Amino acid sequence: MSTYLKPIMCSYQDEVDAFKWGSSESVPCSFKNILNQTLIPYPERSLVAFQSFRDTEETDGSQPIFFLKKYRELALHTKGLAVAITFKENNINYILSVNSDFSITLEQRELPQHIPETESEIIFYQKVFRPEHPNSFRFESSVKRNYYLGFSWDDNERKLVLKSPEDGLDETIKFILDND
């Protein structure tokens, strides 16, 4: 079953914070790419990569679950739904983050309720991939406009990277979200 979070549109002229939690709930999901590989966190290496699972592994519940935390922006926009992508292992919280060199990492920290900046290394804009693919999504970085989460064909490990599609929307930035 695919997950789609509906955008929250709001406008608060007197507010200082740029992002606030949209609700206290986080939506559990797993991310798949066009190769039907599942996104797997490797917190000990601060790395996230796509990996194929055998059928037995897919049915035993051992796949890691990410969570989408919905944020609302305090100004009207058309950028998409602001979300943070988190993962929890052994009671430790990790947040998907864009580093200063624009690489992707898992950062061990708590998810902030308020983000006072107008962009953040942990905020991505969830958008429908294409109108003809309403159940697949792309995630644009709020700190690096026109750069999306994706993977490189050249990488044997299929690491999650931040990339700018050269020919419009390429399939390497397309994600299918499952929440079952």
Query: Which of the pair, 6 or 168, is modelled with greater confidence?
Result: 168
| Mean confidence (pLDDT) of the chain | 81
* SS3 assignment, position 57: helix
Q: Does residue 6 sit within a domain?
A: no
Number of structural domains, the chain?
A: 1
Mean pLDDT of 99-120: 89
Q: pLDDT, tens digit, for every residue of 31-59?
A: 999 999 999 999 998 889 998 875 444 44
- Considering only CA atoms, which of 115, 176, 122, 125 is closest in space to residue 148? 125
Mean pLDDT of 66-90: 84
Determine the pLDDT at residue 121.
95
Percent with pLDDT over 90 in the chain: 42
Residue 82 has pLDDT above 80, yes or no: yes
Q: Does residue 119 sit within a domain?
A: yes
Q: Does residue 14 sit within a domain?
A: no
Q: Does residue 2 sit within a domain?
A: no
Contact 66, 87 (CB under 8 A): yes
CATH code, 46: 2.80.10.50
Residue 23 has pLDDT above 90, yes or no: no
Determine the pLDDT at residue 72.
83
Q: Does residue 8 sit within a domain?
A: no
Q: Does residue 5 sit within a domain?
A: no
Query: Which of the pair, 94 or 130, is modelled with greater confidence?
Result: 94
Q: Does residue 105 sit within a domain?
A: yes
Q: What percent helix, strand, coil does the chain show, rounded to 5?
A: 5, 45, 45
Task: Give the integer Cα–Cα distance in Å for 150 and 144.
Answer: 14
Q: Does residue 58 sit within a domain?
A: yes
- Considering only CA atoms, which of 73, 124, 78 is closest in space to residue 98? 124
Query: Which of the pair, 111 or 134, is modelled with greater confidence?
Result: 111
Determine the pLDDT at residue 16.
46
Q: Which domain holds residue 140?
A: 19-178
